[in-house]
């Protein structure tokens, strides 16, 4: 079993390096944004970024995720596998181009709906172009994940993050272009990344296309292409309504805050959310990127369900450790990243951290649906929590403003996780380590509640974190697990 966890850790680590680079860039940019944009401009930027996330997923037709499944499970011959990427590009890019064209033609309308001001239509122009190039890059990133090319994935991610860092600081600080300058820098980064992918894979794509798609057309080839497309659509399309629902749970609170409070509240809330969002960027996202490939391969093994159960336990240990760290030291982080007017953002950090731990658990548990090819049920477990989230946002934000938004998000993710477990475990039963999960969760929640209501000093916060780690070692980990950790640590220290 250890060898499989090593492989998962290896690819998760590389994906983690990539996404942590992006997280580091985002945090390096926050002090510039909060000082040069102020809360209102920062709020505008967060609404635009949230919109871009949902546009990319919808207009990519869910193929970014479908590529992985079809490449690994459905296409057996290596010489046919490049057709998965080529057919994805052929069908998705024209659709994405049409969507971007509509946004360009009706920019004043979309500017009024999204940002409340029709005069901000130049921002819509940039959004539409970023959307187009981001979709191409999303498809190629999915192809790299399907091939387990985590090193190339990491290099591409780091390239894009580095360009964004340089261009955004230059546009905001030197040129004082505000939100428009930030979007322009992001567009340039996406274009350069797109060119990097095209140049890097030109020979392979040419060879693959000549053998599988573009030459020697015959009925067998037509049948094979139809089969691949059918599988891509079957897996990808159900993801779209689920993604929209996930967007509602994850990002709709910004829009409620904008209409029911003001844009400054959106900006302050977004900063607190970014700190909690570190759980997603540094832990959940790397796992999400490596998990589909890993889970499909592990499903073929005899001890597959035991590995799935252990993975959830280990994730929760690491996840709650991250959550405690982010929550305990959120005040210090905000003091470094922003001005005093953002300080109240620390109130929402624990709620956001817990939400993303639940999201990570959802990604792990839902593997059963993918393995059994029951993704048609996926929207069910997302849409109901999304509707509840909208209702809760409406009532709780009126009463508690940004804190209400954070609470609504957490409740929605709790409901989503419960539904995920019930549906996925129905088709693919796994006996998880329920006793350990309960102990980890209870211990973490006790410390989070104490920190929420009592103002501990810096030393006491470090002490609380160490107590948590010690108790995990003492009452959660088994003797064999402790021995493996000790062996790994001794090997690491000897290398040093």
Angle (CA) 348-22-111 rounded to 5° is: 70
Q: With CA atoms as reference, report the closest residue to 131 among 164, 102, 152, 161.
A: 102
CA dist list (Å): 260 to 151, 350, 388, 439, 473: 45, 23, 18, 39, 46
Q: Tens digits of per-residue pLDDT, 261-308?
A: 888 888 899 889 988 888 887 888 777 777 877 787 788 777 888 889
Phi, psi (rounded to 5 degrees) for 495: -65, -35
Domain boundaries, the chain: 1-39+237-496, 62-229
Q: What pLDDT does 288 receive?
A: 77
Evaluate whether 45 touches 34 at the Cβ level (below 8 Å).
no
Angstrom distance (rounded) from CA 293 to CA 313 = 20
384, 443 contact by CB (below 8 A): no
Give CA–CA dist 368/378, Å, rounded: 11
Apex 286 CA angle, 419 and 188, nearest 5: 115
Determine the straight-line distance between the first and last CA of the chain, rounded to whole angstroms. 27
pLDDT per 10-residue tile (average), the chain, 496 residues: 55 66 78 81 84 86 83 74 84 92 90 76 91 93 82 85 91 88 93 88 58 51 77 80 76 86 88 88 79 78 86 93 92 86 90 94 88 79 89 93 94 94 91 93 92 84 92 88 77 59
CB 134 within 8 A of CB 190: yes
pTM (two decimals): 0.73
* pLDDT score recorded for residue 393: 94
Q: What is the rounded CA–CA span in Å between residue 475 and residue 467? A: 12
φ, ψ dihedrals at 215, nearest 5°: -120, 165
What is the reported pLDDT for 3? 55
């Amino acid at each position: 079993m250890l060898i499989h966890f090593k492989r998962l850790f290896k690819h998760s680590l590389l994906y983690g390096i990539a996404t942590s680079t992006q997280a580091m860039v985002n945090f390096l940019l926050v002090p510039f944004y909060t000082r040069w944009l102020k809360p209102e401009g920062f709020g505008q930027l967060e609404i635009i970024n949230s919109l871009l996330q949902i546009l990319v997923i919808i207009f990519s037709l869910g193929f970014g995720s479908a590529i992985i499944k079809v490449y690994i499970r459905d296409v057996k011959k290596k010489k046919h596998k490049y057709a998965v990427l080529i057919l994805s590009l052929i069908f998705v890019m024209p659709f994405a181009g049409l969507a971007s064209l509509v946004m360009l033609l009706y920019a004043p309308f979309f500017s009024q709906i999204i940002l409340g001001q029709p005069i901000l239509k130049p921002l819509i122009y940039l959004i539409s172009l970023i959307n187009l190039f981001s979709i191409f890059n999303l498809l190629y990133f999915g192809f790299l994940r399907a091939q387990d090319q985590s090193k190339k994935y990491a290099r591409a991610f780091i390239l894009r993050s580095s360009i964004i860092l340089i261009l955004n600081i230059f546009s905001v600080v030197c040129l004082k272009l505000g939100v428009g300058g930030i979007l322009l820098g992001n567009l340039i980064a996406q274009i350069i990344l797109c060119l990097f992918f095209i140049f890097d894979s030109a020979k392979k794509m040419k060879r693959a296309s000549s053998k599988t798609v573009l030459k020697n057309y015959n009925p067998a080839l037509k049948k094979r292409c139809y089969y691949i497309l059918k599988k891509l659509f079957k897996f990808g399309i159900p993801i779209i309504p689920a993604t929209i629902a996930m967007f509602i749970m994850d990002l709709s609170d910004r829009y409620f805050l904008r209409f029911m409070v003001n844009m400054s509240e959106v900006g302050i809330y977004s900063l607190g959310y970014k700190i909690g969002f570190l759980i997603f960027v540094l832990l959940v996202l790397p796992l999400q990127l490596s998990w589909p490939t890993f889970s499909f391969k592990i499903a073929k093994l005899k001890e597959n369900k035991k590995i799935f159960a252990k993975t959830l336990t280990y994730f929760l240990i690491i996840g709650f450790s991250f959550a405690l760290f982010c929550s305990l030291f959120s005040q210090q982080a905000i003091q470094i990243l922003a001005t005093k007017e953002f300080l109240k953002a620390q109130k929402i950090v624990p709620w956001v951290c817990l939400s993303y731990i639940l999201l990570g658990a959802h990604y792990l548990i839902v593997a059963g649906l993918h393995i059994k090819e029951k993704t048609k049920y996926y929207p069910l477990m997302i849409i109901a929590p999304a509707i509840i989230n909208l209702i809760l946002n409406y009532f709780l934000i009126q009463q508690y403003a940004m804190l209400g938004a954070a609470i609504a998000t957490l409740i929605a993710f709790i409901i989503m996780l419960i539904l995920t477990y019930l549906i996925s475990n129905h088709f693919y039963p796994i006996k998880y380590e329920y006793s350990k999960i309960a102990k980890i969760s209870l211990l973490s929640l006790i410390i989070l509640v104490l920190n929420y209501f009592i103002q501990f000093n810096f030393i006491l916060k470090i002490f609380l974190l160490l107590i948590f780690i010690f108790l995990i070692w003492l009452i959660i980990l088994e003797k064999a697990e402790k021995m493996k950790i000790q062996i790994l640590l001794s090997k690491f220290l000897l290398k040093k």
